Structure 1
Amino acid sequence: MKIDTIVEDIYDLVDKGLPPDFPAEKVEALGLSIARVIADRMKREERKGTLRMSNIGSPCDRKLYYSVNTPEKAEPLEPHVRIKFLFGDILEELLLFFADASGH
């Protein structure tokens, strides 16, 4: 399988369904990983000042400095934003499952 066919392969998988011999353990693992993501996201933890890949390359060095060194001053995320992030995490788990199930 080539990475440039992953979208077509996932669509084909969704269209045809899982093969009859697909391991049930992989489906169960998907359920567990989604449950773990939900449990982790629902914990109310203080933000840590960590440098993440998503904020490297930020055009504003000052913003990056403050996000890493003074995270306690950041505005809290509103519930609808937290739900959006949760949805993205669940979608990521599902797409990784689809990629694996389609042979990638």
Structure 2
Amino acid sequence: MTQRREFIVQVALGSTALLASQVQAAGPMLAETDAQAGALGYKADATKVDKAKFPKYAAGQLCNNCALYQGKASDAAGGCPLFAGKQVAGKGWCSAWAKKA
């Protein structure tokens, strides 16, 4: 009987964690006018990055190929730990971009 209770508790906790991660991942889109976004030079369209202001930017650097991006590479948007609770555009960019391993 104890194993059954433990199993039910584990399933309930796992389901709650899964639901919470799905709700967080489906947050609102990050606005370029957001203070954190502005500080990191976030652009929803990487082709519009100010290359004079952000010389580190190189063509091909996109949120969807950044190590911080929490979506699939094919997703139009996904989460980023730098912008908690908000989604970034897959084709976007910010100065924290780091090559995915």
Q: TM above 0.5, one fold? A: no
Q: Which protein is richer in helix relative to its size?
A: 1
Q: Flag the structure with more relative contact order, 1 or 2, with Cα contacts below 8 A and sequence separation at least 6.
A: 1
Q: State TM-score, norm by structure 2.
A: 0.32
Q: State TM-score, norm by structure 1.
A: 0.31
